[in-house]
Structure 1
Amino acid sequence: MADWREDAPLLTISVAAGLAGMHPQTLRQYDRLGLVEPRRTRGRGRRYSMRDVYRLREVQRLSQEEGVNLAGIKRILELERALEDAREENERLRVQADPGQRIFAADPTGDVVAVPRGTRVRRVSASSSGAMVLWRPRSRG
């Protein structure tokens, strides 16, 4: 069965260009500039996903309707990607912080890490490389 997910690289450059309303040469230029990063076949041919087509349409909209130059568009797309990454990290941390499920500790580098409940945590001293408990949620009940 075919993979029809939004991020499946199924479209050739001519098909993606047609769906985005652009010339294939424009897609090649956007690829060189890093605005859109299609996947490659073994023969180095470009394969675009529908997500890439949506991104191409957004590049075109920002350029034509908003008057943003390509360098500005690239920065906007980078910031949107960083925001999405931050949202995903926030969600991951929210799930980790479920009260009663995790204990938070500092690893040897000082980063805060979640330690599964029931894991013994060693205190950090000048000569050890364990972790020190920073916060433990109150147990319910």
Structure 2
Amino acid sequence: MGPRSIRGPGAFVFLESGAVALRAKTKTPKAEVKKAPLPFSKAVWKAVRAIPRGQVRSYAQVALYAGRPGAARGVGREMATLPQQPELPLPWWRVTRSDGTLAPQVAQEQARRLRAEGVEVTQRGDTFRVKVPREVPAPGLATKRQR
């Protein structure tokens, strides 16, 4: 049996059978690599964009509209990255906790933006709160008619 040798990209590769193969270069410059958002991220962004002006949704409601019921924490992680990404024009300030409290890290800015849209924001000490609707009908679905 012949020697086995593997070197860097584009080098010869000697196989045990004695055959020689060339390995193609697979390096891509880091500047050209752009990661596409994950499907969950895109779904969350779409759900957040759909929140009408002057209304709020909880993380759990956004997860439900994104097609991932129970993924409220994932929505929270997505929302935490949005204020640092000004190139994504999403109304992140319309998403709150299920009890209506605003995240302490961005509460001042979030309250200012919500008030500008006509949402009533109450403040007690350092805690800001809005009223989150209990049930929001799914987009495109008709609600039951009262008899």
TM-score category (smaller protein): under 0.3
* Higher helix residue share: 1
Computing the radius of gyration from Cα coordinates, the structure with the larger value is 2
TM-score (norm 2): 0.25
TM-score of the aligned structures, taking structure 1 as reference length: 0.26
